[in-house]
Structure 1
Amino acid sequence: MIETATGDFDANDRRDISDLEMLVAEASTPSGNSRPFNWLPEAMFDINGDTVVNRWDTEDWVRNVANTYLGDANLDGEFNSSDLVQVYAAGEFEDGVWRNSTWSTGDWNSDRQFDSADLVAAFQDGGYERGPRALAVPEPNLAGISMCLIISIVS
């Protein structure tokens, strides 16, 4: 089994658009069809841990692994007008071509289409023109410090 960091499916030590495209390909494969990356364990793509690989894993990857928003087509950490220019320039918005879209061409809900549902999902995510998503900072664990302080006082 290939050991990689969570969300780095191609094992290149970066979490980038190729990883997201691999996840979307897995998440959008109809049940019963051959998986596109069947040499990798399916559990590797289960980002949210619910034992099913689907669009919710894609959303979790975007928000918690890439630390950005739905709609950030170029994965630069922000959803802004440059992302909208990029996806509209690709020319795939409601183009009638079945399952031809990718994340970078506007498929933000993992159905392989760029349509109004993707725009709704992206704007509902609330990141448009908000700048980069804030990084989560863990709370300090004071138990160890408190124990050391108590031991030094008692001694």
Structure 2
Amino acid sequence: MKTSSHPSSSSQVPLRLLGIYGGAFVALFLFFALTAQFLRMSSATEVPIPDEKAAAQELLEAKLSGPGYFQLGEPSAELPSPYITPAQARIQLDRVVGERHLDAAKREQLENLIKELTEPSPSRMVGTERLNALKLNLALDELK
């Protein structure tokens, strides 16, 4: 009887199958890993979605602009957009009244509206009184 040092061909079949399945597993793993990396990279180049509140404020500012509305000043640390000082509102009052052809009674209502919408500085110690120009312009449209 001959004894062979080579394993029989039937015992090599499971090892071959293991090698095939292992290779397929590695290939699938690499495919999904690279696909995920590609998706992450492509989503990073997309345009970011703006803040809803900021977008709404920009649209409202665009709608409520023109000579018949109170204009916003340059935003600052002390007075951010969309706020103006009561003094800035009073300076613009004659222009707005003239553009809208408001009578004396409506002008008085508008002056009272400026007083009502005036709020103290958020810090209450430092800063100046302010009023929201967008709220003022919305209320101005209701004065018709």
Structure 2-normalised TM-score? 0.28
Q: Between Structure 1 and Structure 2, whose CA radius of gyration is higher?
A: 2
Which structure's relative contact order is higher, taking Cα pairs within 8 Å and 6+ residues apart?
Answer: 2
More helix by share: 2
